[in-house]
Amino acid sequence: MKLCRLALLAALLLALAVQATAAEAAAENRGRPLLKSLLWPGLGQIEQGRTGRGALWAGGAVVLAAGTFYAHQHYHDIAQDFENAEDSYHAALADGDGDAAWSHFQAMQIYHPKAEDRLDTRNLIIGALVVYWAANLVDTWLFDRGGDAPAGDTAALPGRLAPVVRRGAAGVAWTVDF
């Protein structure tokens, strides 16, 4: 009787130890996708098995990053034109050439609002990229399934191409779950 109780207690302790180890592994595995999504949007979703959603997040980040680079280049170009006009204006004033100074002053008046507008556009796109990145992290954290699905269970892993029988369908439908 004592041996049975001791074996039952040992089995219970072993089960609790396995449960604690599994919980620690799940917590550790939950941080890896979040870290990958912090490096680049979509990588965490792809690691979680949600490849479709991960591809959308990664593609959106590429578009916003390219837009940020493009907007920065346009701002830099117009700001450089403004600085050149300003330098030419001061040089013309120093030479006493009033007509050239007036011409460069008018160019400065044209370039300044354009530079401000392009700076605002660039900052808006950077803000959108920051919000997008944060939303990606929230998506990675909230919709993580923790890796509880069995290895062969493709229906439990969204973002994978899996055959699904649909009611009213004439056969098997192939779907991609995002």
* Confidence (pLDDT) at 131: 93
In the predicted structure, residue 48 carries a pLDDT above the cut 50 = yes
* Confidence (pLDDT) at 165: 55
* Confidence (pLDDT) at 170: 59
Higher pLDDT, 103 or 169: 103
Is 129 in contact with 64 (CB distance < 8 Å)?
yes
In the predicted structure, residue 151 carries a pLDDT above the cut 50 = no
Torsion region of 10: left, alpha or beta (phi above 0 gives left; psi -120 to 50 gives alpha): alpha
Burial class from Cβ neighbours inside 10 Å (0-12, 13-18, 19+) for residue 104 reads buried
At 23, list the tokens: 């919980």
Closest C-alpha among 174, 178, 139, 137 to residue 49: 178
Q: What is the pTM of this model?
A: 0.61
